[in-house]
Amino acid sequence: MTKAVKPAAGEARHYIRIKEQILADIAEGKLQPGDRVSSESELVAAFGVSRMTANRALRELMFEGVLKRSAGIGTFVSPKHLDVDLLQIRNIADEILERGHTHKAVVVKAGLMKADANVADALQLILGAEVMHSLIVHMENDQPIQVEERYVNPLVAPDYLSADFYSMTPHEYLTQVAPITAFEHIVQAVKPDRAIRKYLGLKNDHPCLRVFRRTWSGEAVVTCALLYYPGAQYRLEARSSKGPSKPVAILGEKQ
Partner DNA sequence: TTCCCCGGCCTGTATATACAGGCTAGCCGC
Partner DNA sequence: GCGGCTAGCCTGTATATACAGGCCGGGGAA
DSSP structure string for 195-219? HHHHHHT--TT--EEEEEEEEEETT
Taking the complex as a whole, how short is the minimal distance between the CB of residue 195 and a second copy, in angstroms?
11
* Distance (Å, whole) CA 239 – CA 244: 8
Residues 27-56 that bind a second copy (CB under 8 A): 52
Residue 119 lies near a second copy (rule: CB under 8 A): yes
Does residue 8 belong to the site contacting DNA (CB under 7 A)?
no
Count the residues in the chain: 255
Other Cβ atoms less than 10 A from the Cβ of 135: the count is 17
Does 254 interact with DNA (rule: CB under 7 A)?
no
- Residue 20 or 85: the one with the smaller Cβ distance to a second copy is 85
> Based on CB atoms, which residue is closest to DNA, 120 or 187?
120
239 binds DNA per the rule CB under 7 A? no
As a whole number of angstroms, the distance between CA 144 and CA 209 comes to 14
**Count of residues interacting with DNA (CB under 7 A):** 34
Q: How far is the CB of 88 from a second copy (least distance, A)?
A: 9
* β-bridge mates for residue 149, sequence order: 135, 226
Residue 242 sits in the site that holds a second copy (CB under 8 A): yes
DSSP code for 245: S
Residue closer to a second copy (CB basis): 104 or 185:
185
